[in-house]
Chain A
Amino acid sequence: MSLVLEGFLNTVALTLLSFCAALLVGLVVAVLRIVPVPLLRGVGAVYVEVWRNIPLLAWLVLFVFGLPEVGVKMPLFWTAFTAIALYEAAFVAEALRSGVNSVAAGQGEAARALGLSFRQSLWHVILPQAGRRVVQPLANIAIALTMATALAGVVGVVDMTRAAQRINLELAQPLLVFTGVGLCYLVMAAGIGFGARVLERRLA
């Protein structure tokens, strides 16, 4: 039973922490991609293309086994957290960027015409409008991230899926064990979906 709890808590912690980190990094990358400075735009674009186009499992293996080779050794949980957060940040950045792009160009132009700086118009005019439009895309990313945390089990983190595999090794009841685990993920994902709907209503 303690194994089940450990796996569940690790999955929840990994999901929450890495999604928060992905939001922060993704926001920075999204801003990089829309500022009117070509160099910074380039940096943002490279970040998104590199992180998004290499599978998460490859990132996890590279981080867990590659980083110690260059002298960086973190606990397995935090290594997995870093890889997942940086990977999902690329998707968050693109969701935020499309939200910003969906705000009519006239809004930004009007803000600038009123004398607001680029930063002011972004924070006070563009982002608040973009914010409510990206709630559902971000919820999608959060749910995908929840499922993706199962990959951390391959590199030594005892997450919910790994715990289930251990239990199944003794019980030899895969249908029962994995249906149970599936329901746990369902509850988590449904919780995220519910939260997103509440947030959307509040922002609207």
Chain B
Amino acid sequence: MGRLFAVALLLFVAACSGGENAVPGGGGKIDALLAKAPVYTGQVTPGSAVDRIKKRGKLLIGGSQDAPLLSQLDPISGELTGFDAYLGKLLAHYLVGKPSTELLSATSETREPLLANGTVDVIIQTYTITPARKERVAFAGPYYQSGQSIAVRKGTSGITKPADLAGKTVIVGANTPGVKAVKDAAPTANIVEFGSDPECLTALKQGRGEAYVQDQAILVADASKDSELRLVGEPFTEDPYGIGIKHGDAEFQKFVDDWLREIGKSGLWQDVWKQTIGTVVTGDAPSPPAIAS
């Protein structure tokens, strides 16, 4: 019960805090990254997205506050930390010369409208590039190659590959790519969704399902803190994450693509990876995924 209360309290604190993160106060990791970050000095077309963002002096990002390692609000420092969050700050730095970002909490049902009506400039939120979505939004990137993995309670037998999930109850994070991944790998699996990763973990341990399917990086982080959890095999999907941009804005898409290529080449991308996902995934930083021209 104590742990449950702590989780509830954290959720409450995270929900109450605003999304403004104008000054990188005390965030040591991000400061080191910003020291190496490039700033755009080229031509700016008047009236373009880049022009708009420069004039505003702030990048409006649609994202999450509750994704560990990717975009999570640190309840103590008030800083947004994680791979997606740092990339957002670096992109803001590239655009306006300082890491001025404002995060709007987006969800899978609000992302496309937020971009279409111009509420946010970009979506950086484990946004998997799919053909259906490409008809509604433009994607820069991919900037990260992820995959869904399976975790089980220690001592569980009979689940060694995705097909073994058939007929079993599988816990999945609500609105994550895992929902489709499980449906594709084992159509007869019974999917149960919970709102957040801690809830999914609690549900798995309380026996609400036999397996938990989630992004591998998050599962690795969970397993590093919890000896009851076992990961099964390697990721069984390939989810390329892209930066969502207003549909049809090819100029801004190319701008972000160029920036991604630049930080990939300079090694900054790898540094971001090491500071975030690399703190739980062992081994060297992977090379950034190739960006489709």
Contact = CB atoms under 8 A, between A and B. Distances in A.
Contacts, number: 74
Contacts of A66: 1, 4
Given A162-B174, A165-B108, A156 B180 contact: no
Nearest to B205: A68
Nearest to A68: B206
Contact of B194 (A73, A155, A169, A175): A155
Contact of A154 (B132, B174, B180): B174
Contact of B132 (A164, A172, A178): A172
B193 A65 contact: no
Given A65-B202, A65-B206, A174-B112, A169 B179 contact: yes
A166 B1 contact: no
A171 interface: yes
A168 B208 contact: no
Contacts of A170: 130, 132, 180
A61 interface: yes
B192 interface: yes
Interface string B267-282: 0000000000000000
Interface residue tally of chain A, by bracket? 20 to 34
Main secondary structure of the interface of A (DSSP, over half): helix
A192 interface: no
A65 B112 CA distance: 33
A61 B135 CA distance: 37
A34 B224 CA distance: 56
Given A76-B192, A156-B193, A173 B136 contact: yes
A166 B181 CA distance: 12
A64 B199 CA distance: 10
B133 interface: yes
Contact of A168 (B109, B192, B195): B109
B208 A156 contact: yes
A23 B8 CA distance: 30
B127 to A, nearest CB: 10
A61 B192 CA distance: 15
Contacts of A171: 132
Contacts of A162: 174, 193
A188 to B, nearest CB: 20
Nearest to B171: A156
Contacts of B175: 165, 169
B208 to A, nearest CB: 7
A169 B207 CA distance: 26
Nearest to A67: B206
List the 6 shortest-distance A-B pairs measured between CB atoms, nearest first.
A68-B206, A174-B109, A172-B133, A156-B192, A154-B195, A172-B136
16 contacts: A62-B4, A65-B4, A65-B206, A66-B4, A69-B206, A153-B193, A155-B195, A158-B193, A166-B193, A169-B179, A170-B132, A171-B132, A172-B132, A172-B137, A174-B109, A178-B109
Given A68-B206, A73-B207, 18 more contacts: A68-B208, A69-B1, A76-B192, A76-B208, A153-B193, A156-B208, A162-B193, A165-B174, A165-B175, A168-B108, A169-B108, A170-B132, A172-B130, A172-B133, A172-B135, A174-B109, A177-B109, A178-B109
